[in-house]
Amino acid sequence: MQCEYNLVQRTAERELIPRASHFGLGMMCYSPLAYGLIGKYREGSSARLRQSSPNRLVEDELTKKIINKLLQIARDYDSTAEQIALAWAMSKCMFLENTHLLIWKLV
């Protein structure tokens, strides 16, 4: 299965990832940086969030809140938002020995 999965777009956690895990299917998740949104947007910037993804990431308060929190965490760890987002995505990955598949775990 393929799905978009990142800190902004986490809808796969509701059904896709649990179903894939239940049936022993592998997941190939893409766009860990939300089509470049993570890394481009900065708090207080007058730039608009672009609708660049097929799923149309929208400029809304929740998206801004998520990215602002990510930027704060990045500052606290002397890192970039991109590094934190990729580390988060990688932390969701696991290998199931009995199925020999790479899947994403819920933490």
3-state DSSP of 66-100: HHHHHHHHHHHCCCCHHHHHHHHHHHCEEEECCCC
CB atoms within 10 A of CB 97: 7
> Which of the 8 DSSP states describes residue 30?
E
Neighbour-count burial of 80, counting CB atoms closer than 10 A to its CB (0-12 exposed, 13-18 middle, 19+ buried): middle
> CA of 68: how far to CAs of 11, 59, 73, 75, 94, in Å?
20, 13, 9, 11, 28
> How many domains is the chain partitioned into structurally?
1
Q: Which domain holds residue 100?
A: 2-104
pLDDT at residue number 47: 53
Q: Is 61 helix (H, G, I), strand (E, B) or coil?
A: helix
- The predicted model scores a pTM of 0.72
Tens-digit pLDDT string for the chain (107 aa): 788 889 999 998 898 888 888 888 877 788 889 888 888 876 656 555 554 445 555 567 888 899 999 999 999 999 999 999 999 988 876 544 444 445 555 44
